[in-house]
Chains A and B, each alone.
Chain A
Amino acid sequence: MSDVVTIKGLTKKYGRRTALADCTLDIPAGHVVGLVGPNGAGKSTLLQLTCGLLAPTEGAIEVLGAAPMSGSPRVGFVAQDTPVYAGLTVAEHLRLGAHLNPGWDATLADGRIAELGLDPRQRAGKLSGGQRAQLALTLAIAKRPELLLLDEPVAALDPLARREFLQGLMSYAAEHGTSVVMSSHLVADLERVCDYLIVLVASRVRVAGEVEELLGTHHRLSGARRDPGELGPGRDVIAESHTDVQSTLVVRSSAPIEDPSWSVDGLNLEDLVLAYMSEAGRSGRDRVLEKR
């Protein structure tokens, strides 16, 4: 399958501050992609570059085979905090959507609003956080986009509203085969809904790939304290911690690790993400082993 997003050497600076540094990435079609990373890592910048709201400082980005274009009917975008017009009613939002988008699917939009039990005469400002998020999602998917981008869509929602939002999103993705890229802090949610993961830390892509492949190639090793440099080729140490007697490593290796002096375990997605985040936060002085 082809790529929905192709990025080469992409850099975005706001004045002197670098939000995204030399990012190279291909996102294959047909996936639900999770974009994770700490606050300020550049997730929103990457999503806004992808939907054409921002222009890159350097590098190239192609979305669905063309330069990103703000307001493209082929790309749906739900911005952070799922913004809607507080003064407009639900019905007015739908009319606005129909007016602005040539490919507007009124059956889908009206059907979803009815299914959610939203009153079309209700002003959006009076909706609950969960209902507002559902309205914003409805507006984005009734465009029938080929690529749907969501910036922290569920961050502000309670667990029930979050589950309902993800149910709606997944059934839409299942029915229409739309590619989805979604940023979130909630790795437990991403573990359910995503089959592709991008970890962005400190303006850089640390790792990207299919979730299953990532889980299959990352291992947690623990054993007597030693220098991780001895692991050999093809094995990248992602994170390490040492006590006076023990070393614990997170290692990326496509070949299984058969050294009997290590006890080897799998990782879940959350541990994997945290390992990459802690690696980026590590500086020389934290490396206890070198102080020996």
Chain B
Amino acid sequence: MIEFHLDSRSGVSPYLQLVQQVRQAMRLGLLKDGDRLPTVKDVVARVAINPNTVLKAYRELEYEGLVQPRPGLGTFVTRTLGGDDDSRAAHEPLRQELTEWFERARKAGLDDEVVEALLLSTFREFSEERAGRRG
């Protein structure tokens, strides 16, 4: 089971934040095929959010073919995202390398903001380069 949270300053609409959090959890393997999403009542009781917003997020996920409501039982994940087992097996060593990288950055005297900026800008350059090669 996952827990939702809401960032009111993000500028992303609440319903979209819920959708993104489910997708994210699926990509990270926290939610797998057959797992149940929290009920609408659980979500509103926890996040203090409009019930229709939760329903809308679940409908969107259903439309994307990621979840399926089963009447009287709840809403269930129907797919596993983030590739097959092989690609998820690669997560752990990659996470390890990234952790080591963070340690080196910290040793070099970089603070959190600089680390984040460096990570994001490198990732962006990398993605753009790849997109450029493909196009």
Q: Which residues of A contact B (CB under 8 A)?
A: 30-32, 163, 166-171, 173-175, 188, 191-195, 212, 215, 268
Contacts and interface: CB of A to CB of B under 8 A. Distances in A.
A268 B14 contact: no
B8 interface: yes
B46 A174 contact: no
A166 B49 CA distance: 8
Contacts of B41: 171, 174-175
Contacts of A175: 41
Given A192-B14, A215-B13, A170 B52 contact: no
Given A171-B45, A192-B14, A195-B50, 5 more contacts: A31-B52, A32-B50, A166-B48, A167-B44, A193-B50
B40 interface: yes
B53 A195 contact: yes
Given A191-B14, A192-B50, A195-B50, A174 B8 contact: no
Contacts of A174: 40-41, 44-45, 51, 54
Interface in B44-97: 44-54
B8 A188 contact: yes
B69 to A, nearest CB: 15
Nearest to B6: A192
Nearest to B43: A174
Interface in B1-47: 6, 8, 11, 13-14, 40-41, 44-47
B51 A191 contact: no
A188 B11 CA distance: 12
Chain B interface helix/strand/loop/mixed: helix
A192 B48 contact: yes
Q: Which 8 A-B residue pairings sit nearest by Cβ, starting from the closest? A: A174-B51, A171-B45, A166-B48, A170-B44, A167-B48, A174-B44, A174-B41, A195-B50
Interface of B: 6, 8, 11, 13-14, 40-41, 44-54
A168 B11 CA distance: 25
Contacts of A170: 44-45, 48-51
A193 B49 contact: yes
A163 B44 CA distance: 11
A192 B52 contact: no
B6 A173 contact: no
Given A174-B40, A174-B41, A191 B48 contact: no
Contacts of A31: 52
Nearest to A187: B8
Contacts of A171: 41, 44-45
Most chain A beta-carbon neighbours within 10 Å: one of B14, B46, B50: B50
Given A167-B44, A167-B45, A192-B14, A173 B8 contact: no
Contacts of A194: 50
25 contacts: A30-B52, A163-B48, A166-B48, A167-B44, A167-B45, A167-B46, A168-B45, A170-B44, A170-B48, A170-B50, A171-B41, A174-B40, A174-B41, A174-B44, A174-B51, A175-B41, A192-B6, A192-B8, A193-B48, A193-B49, A195-B50, A195-B52, A195-B53, A215-B13, A268-B11
B39 to A, nearest CB: 9
A227 B41 CA distance: 49
Contacts of A167: 44-48
Most chain A beta-carbon neighbours within 10 Å: one of B8, B13, B48, B49: B48
A170 B47 CA distance: 9
Nearest to A210: B52
A233 B40 CA distance: 42
A220 to B, nearest CB: 13
A147 to B, nearest CB: 16
Nearest to A177: B51
A105 B53 CA distance: 27
Contacts of A166: 48
